[in-house]
Amino acid sequence: MFMKGFIATRRLPFLLALMIGFLAHAIGATPGLAQETRLNGMLNLAFGASRAEAQQSLLIHDGMTFDPIHSDADNLVYDGGTFAGQAVGFWVLGFVDDQMHTSKAIVQPGKEDLLATYNELLAAFIETYGEPTTQVAYFDDPYEMGDGFETYAISFGKGHFAALWKFSDGDNENAISLSIDKDLYIPIVFQSGRLIDLAINKHESTTTSGL
C-alpha cells in the first residue's frame, strides 16, 4: 500500500529496473535515448523551488488543498486537483535542502477504468514529450489482455505497465515515470536527477552516521 506523504529516496530509472529487464522478451523493444526536450518541473513549479515557493504556487490550482497532517520536513502533501485531465487523489512533493527534487501525483481510478485511464495518460504524455525512453506493457502467463482478469493480474504482480521518459540537460538527467501499481493506482512522477542524487547522498550519510 502506498503511504501517503512518503517519497522513496531513489532515482526514477531504478524504479523500472526490473521491468526493463523484461523488455526484449515482452515487447521486442530496447531502452531508447534520453529526450532532447528539457524537463524543468511540474505544474509550472520548477525543480529546485523552495517549500515556500511551492506552497504559494499551488494555491492557484483549483481543487488542491494542503494536508498538514501528512506533510513533514521533507514532503509537502496536497489533496485533490487534476493533472492531464484526470482527477488526482493526492500529491507529494519531495524536498532536499529546501529544494524540490520530486513531484508525485497519485491517480486512483476505479478498477474498471484503470487501463483506460493509464492509456489516456500515456497518450497525453506522448503527445507532449514524445515516445518514452523505455516502455513496458505485458502480462505474465497465463494472463493476457482481454481475458477479463487484467486488474486481478496487475494486483498480483502479473501485469506490467510502465513508461519512463529521460531528459538530458548537460550533466543532469531529469525524468518522468508513469505506471500502474499493483495496488491499482497510477503514480505520475517528475524528478530532478541532480537533486535526487543530492537527496540520496544526504539520506545515505544520515543512515550511515546513525549506525
Domain borders along the chain are 13-209
3-state class of 68 per DSSP? Answer: coil
- Which tens digits make up the pLDDT trace of 28-65? 333 454 454 567 778 788 999 999 999 988 877 778 99
What pLDDT band is residue 155 in, cutting at 50, 70 and 90? very high
Kind and range of the H or E run holding 110: none
Which ranges constitute the DSSP H helices of 9-168?
Answer: 12-15, 17-20, 23-27, 51-58, 114-129, 150-155
Model confidence pLDDT, tens digit, residues 73-95? 899 999 999 988 899 999 999 99
Return the closest-CA partner of residue 23 out of 138, 178, 174.
138
Q: What is the pTM of this model?
A: 0.83
Spatial neighbors of 97 by CB under 8 A, at least 6 apart, are 198, 202
User: With pLDDT > 90 as the criterion, what percentage of the chain qualifies?
Assistant: 59
> CB of 90 within 8 A of CB of 4?
yes
- DSSP string for residues in 125-176: HHHHH-S-SEEEEEE-TT--TTSS-HHHHHHTT-EEEEEEEEEEETTEEEEE
**Site of grid cell 525512453:** 133
Q: Are 73 and 108 in contact (CB under 8 A)?
A: no
pLDDT above 60: residue 1 = no
